[in-house]
Amino acid sequence: MYYKYIALMLLSSSICFANPWANGEDQGYFALTYSVADYDRIYSTDKQFHLQPISNTGVAREVTNESLRLDAELGINDTDTVVVRTQFANVGAYESVFPQNVFGPSYEGISDTYIGFKRNYRNRKVGMSMELGYIIADDYKADAITSPGYGSDAVALTWHWGLILTPKDYLSTNIQYRHYLDDNVSDQLSLNFDYTKVLDPLWSLRFFGNYANSMGGVNLFDAASGWTNFAFHKKDEMRLSFGTGVNYNINSFWSASVNISHLFDGRNTDASDSSLAVSLIKRF
C-alpha cells in the first residue's frame, strides 16, 4: 500500500515523465495538459538565428506553439500498464526570405498519438519498468520548423527507474530510444530526469530536465542534401532544457499542476526562452 501511495503522488507531480512504479490493477490516471511556447529565433547548427522583422516595421516576428495533450495510464494487473497519449497542436506560421523553406505553413490538428505497454519488474524503494510503444504521426509538413513533430511513425523503447529517498523525496528518470520508420528521419535518444519534493499533503514541488539528440545528422548548407526538400531540424536536432513546477492536490482524486521549462541549448531547433504547461489530473 505504501508504494501505491508513492505512485499516486508521482502521477500528480510527474505527468510529463511516466513513473516507474506499478499503478495496480484498474488504477491509473487521466491528465489534460495545455502548453504554450513562443520563440523569435532558432538554433541553426548550434548558433542562434533571429527571425527577420516584419518588413518596414521593425516588429519582431514570433512563432507560437500551442498544444492540448491527453495522457492516460491504466493498470491491467499488478505489473502491467497500458499507456495512451494524444495531442492536438496549434502552431503558427512564419515565412522567411533566408534561409528558404525553413519555415512552413501553420498546422492545426491531431499530431502524434502514442500507444504503449509498460511492465514493472521492481516495485519497492527502487522502481523499474520497461515500456514498448508505437507513435502514430499525422500527415503534416515535417520539413517545416513549425511542425509539431517528426512526420514519421516510430517504435519507442523506454527504461524507467525511480528511487524513494524519503517518504517526501523521489527521484525518477527514463531513457528512451525512438526508431523512426521513415528513412529521412534520424532515430532519437532522449533522457528525462525528475526530482519531486512533497511539502505537505496538498503541495509538492518538481524539478526536471530533458535531453534529446538525433542519432544521425546532415550538413544544413550542403546542396547535395536537397536544400528545398530535406527536413530542416528533424534529422539533426538536439535539445537541452530544465524546468520547475508545482502541484496541488485538490482532493483524493483530482490535482492540478503548473510547469515552466527553459531551453538552455539546442541544434537545428527552435529557441524558446520558456514554455508553460498547465495540467488537470484525475486519478482513479
- CATH number of the domain where residue 192 is located: 2.40.160.40
Number of domains in the chain: 1
Between 46-50, 94-98, 153-157, 174-178, the lowest mean confidence (pLDDT) is in 94-98
> Looking at the chain, which runs of residues are DSSP E strands?
28-39, 41-44, 47-50, 63-75, 80-91, 107-123, 126-136, 154-166, 169-180, 188-198, 203-214, 238-249, 254-267, 269-270, 275-283
Which has more pLDDT, 53 or 70?
70
| Contact of 65 with 92, CB cutoff 8 Å | yes
Mean pLDDT of the region 72-92: 92
Residue 38, pLDDT > 60, answer: yes
| Residue where the block lists cell 523521489 | 170
Neighbour order of strands in the sheet with 269-270: 47-50, 41-44, 269-270
Residue 96, pLDDT > 70, answer: no
Mean pLDDT of the region 61-84: 90
- 2 secondary structure, DSSP code: H
Between 38-47, 91-100, 203-212, the lowest mean confidence (pLDDT) is in 91-100
Enclosing domain of residue 8: 2-283
